[in-house]
Structures are given as C-alpha cells and as structure tokens.
Amino acid sequence: MNQKIIITEDQDLAVELSRAIEELNPKGIFVLCDETTRKMCFSRIQTIPEIQKAPVHTIGAGDSHKNLDTLSSVWQFLCENGATRHSVLINLGGGMVTDLGGFAASTFKRGMRYINIPTTLLGAVDAAVGGKTGINFNGLKNEIGVINPASHVIIDTLFFGTLDIYNKLSGYAEILKHGLIFSKEEWTKVLQFDVERFDLIELRQILRDSINVKQQIVKKDPFEKNIRKALNFGHTIGHAIESLSHEKNDPVLHGYAVAWGLVAELYLSHALLGFSRECVSQAKAYIQETYGKPKFISCKDYDRLFELMRHDKKNMSCDQISFTLLSDFGQVQTDQFVDQKLLFEAIEY
C-alpha cells in the first residue's frame, strides 16, 4: 500500500501540491471541498496554475453530509466535467471530506487517483492516512466503504491554527490512542504536550511520530486482517457513543467519543488482560480533565449502546462484539470478546 505522506514546512503547501501533481501527470484535475474549507482553506492552493483551471465541487460541512446523496453528487460532478480514471481528485477538508472524496474517487470509473489535503488535526492523524474511505449509512459510522489509499497526503499544520480548541482536542484523541498502542514512552510523550497552548511547531514532530505509528501498522496489514485492528482501540465503544449522541440530537465530536472509548476499553483491558490499573486511572484522570464526561449518557442508554456495538464492522457475527484490547502499552490483543455485564461496567467506569 504505497502512500506518500508529506508534512510541509510553513508556506510550502503549494510547492508540495504542485510536485505531487507533476508526479501523477493526470489527465484532468478536480477539487472537492466543503462549505467551510472552500471559504477558509481553498485560497492556499488556488494560485497553483493547474488548480486555477480545475473544476471545484463544494459539499455541505459536517458529518451529517457524509451520506449516499452527497456521494452521488460527487460522482455526478466528476461525470459532468469529463473526469476519467486517469484524472485526479484533490480532497481539501477534514475527515468527512477525505473519507467521502476518497470513496468517490475509488469507485468512479472503477477507481481514479486522489490526493488528500487534511485541514483538521483529526483528518491528518486519522482519516486521511491509511486508505480507509467511506460514508455513514443507516445511522452507522463508515458502514459503506473501501480500503484504497490516496497517492499523496499533504499535511500543513498551519490549517490547524484556524480550529477551535474542541476540534484540536478531537484530533489529539487519536494521537493519544497511537501512544497507547505503541509504547509507554510514546504515551508519556503525548501526555506532556501542552494542549492548551497547542504550539503548531511542536505539534509537527508529535504528528510525524503519531502518523509513523499508524503507517507501520498499516504497512504490515493494509486490509485489516489482524494487527491493523490495533488502530480500532477505543473505537468500538467510541463509535457507539458517537452514534448515540447523534440519535439524541446532541452530537459530540469524533475524538471526544474516542477519548471516552479509550477509558472504557482500558478498563476492559485491565479486567481481561491485566493492563496496569494505575495506568488506567492515569488515563481516566487525564481524559476527564481534558475532555470532560459524556453527560448525555445514563444507565438507561446502555442497552442501546450495546445494540450499536453489535453492528461494529470488526465483529465476526452480530452475536459477539469483538474488541481490540491491550495487555500492556504496545501489546495489542485483537478479537477479544466481552460479556454484556463487564461491558456495562466499563461504560459506567
């Protein structure tokens, strides 16, 4: 799975994008933005001669637009503007744009190339890297999609300066996850980053290391047959929390749900695999202080969360919920099954 990851320095975004386009030598360039990135981010690339001639399609912002109707509009845009499988689609946006745009490119004409330019920290460290693409369907996250990587992922941390603290923290939750699944040293390092100051220069090195963790795992298992399931740590419960929040019309950001999922799944890791109770408590304290608690959840919601988890893509059947858990930092155990009573204890914790 070849994917070139480029983290730019200061004003080099246009230079790096021009270089990527030259390498691909496409027969036609197309750009996908959402309403926010068209207004706030597109100016950073529109001076490139190739982009000045490129048709641009703008979709609605937010995860509610990550659906079949929006996907169809992108296919229609590509079709009407004469795209071919030798063209390239540039996805400029957060995880919703890169997920949906990557899926559109991967399926149009049976597959055209695409470039991701993530404009959020969450998109840079998670969605844009590794080749997972897709849309939400029937109220379930990323229910329909394919694994097919972008040819290039160009990351410019200057975009992250426009994010509010909530979206910065949402992205940082995935960095916390990478620390847990890699090593105690990496975990300690990511805890020391000042998330209130959020220095973008300092963030570059943390981002490089975090993406490197993901790339190492994806390279070993591109299609998630075994070890790539490590990247789902915190997500089985996290995705259920996120879906529940949308059902209650009180949506939470993806990273917040993942952060809470990390705490619950660390509890399961301690109960089933002996992960250090002291480290579980440390993670819980840090995440509660940084992300708060999911106040919209009560014990009356546990059965619904359980039902949502039964639809998780990692499950081998709807009768057993499959978890990725940790026996220690960097010691990942896949395909762990948890009974309902213990699962409810973890959510309560």
Q: Which residue has 């890699």 as its token pair?
A: 182
Residues in the chain: 349
Q: What is the DSSP letter of 194?
A: -
Q: Are 106 and 133 in contact (CB under 8 A)?
A: yes
Q: Give Cβ neighbours of residue 295 (< 8 Å, ≥ 6 apart).
A: none
**Cβ atoms of residues 153 and 240 within 8 Å:** no
The residues assigned a catalytic role are 110, 132, 174, 214, 224, 228, 232, 235, 239, 254
- Residue 342 and residue 267 in contact, taking contact as beta carbons nearer than 8 Å: no
- Mention every residue, 6+ apart, whose C-beta is less than 8 A from residue 28: 81, 82, 83, 84, 86, 87, 88
Cβ neighbours for 246, distance < 8 A, ≥ 6 positions apart: 63, 64, 139
186 vs 209: CA distance, rounded Å: 9
Residues 6+ apart with CB under 8 A from 18: 48, 50
- Give CA–CA dist 85/114, Å, rounded: 10
Beta-carbon-side half-sphere exposure of residue 147 (alpha carbons within 13 Å): 11
| Residue 309: C-alpha distances to residues 236, 246, 299, 306 (Å) | 6, 15, 16, 5
Please say whether the beta carbons of 233 and 330 come within 8 A.
Answer: no
Q: What SS3 state is found at 175?
A: helix
